[in-house]
Amino acid sequence: MDYLFSELMLHLREDGYQWFSLGLAPLAGVGIRRDATLEERAKFEPVWEERFLVYRYGHAGFVRTALALERITSGGA
């Protein structure tokens, strides 16, 4: 996976891109430790930007928002 990301980033840089986003979704299968995803991403020297989710309607709104985010990040429709 490291090779794939590295080659993709190099190719995109040649095409004039200045940024590459690893997105909001965690990398799948990086390990069982809770902080494994952060360690995996650290090698790419990321720039962290805050992201916020806003929802309405109490717990039901939170659940709907969480399910929508999961659907988006997993490639579901």
User: Residue 71 belongs to what domain range?
Assistant: 50-77
Place of tokens 């069982």: 32
- Does residue 56 share a domain with residue 37? no
State the pLDDT at residue 68: 87
Q: What is the pLDDT of residues 16-51, one digit of tens each?
A: 999 888 776 555 555 556 666 666 677 777 777 787
- Does residue 59 share a domain with residue 39? no
- Does residue 55 share a domain with residue 40? no
Number of other CB atoms surrounding residue 55 within 10 Å: 14
CA 31, CA 28: separation in Å to the nearest integer? 8
CB 43 within 8 A of CB 9: no
Query: Is the pLDDT reported for residue 52 higher than 70?
Result: yes
Q: Report how many domains make up the chain.
A: 2
- Does residue 33 share a domain with residue 56? no
- Please tell me the pTM assigned to this model: 0.44
Place of tokens 């659907």: 71
Give the mean pLDDT of the chain. 78
Cα–Cα distances in Å, from 72 out to 28, 29, 66?
15, 18, 10
Reading the block at residue 40, the tokens are: 């995996």
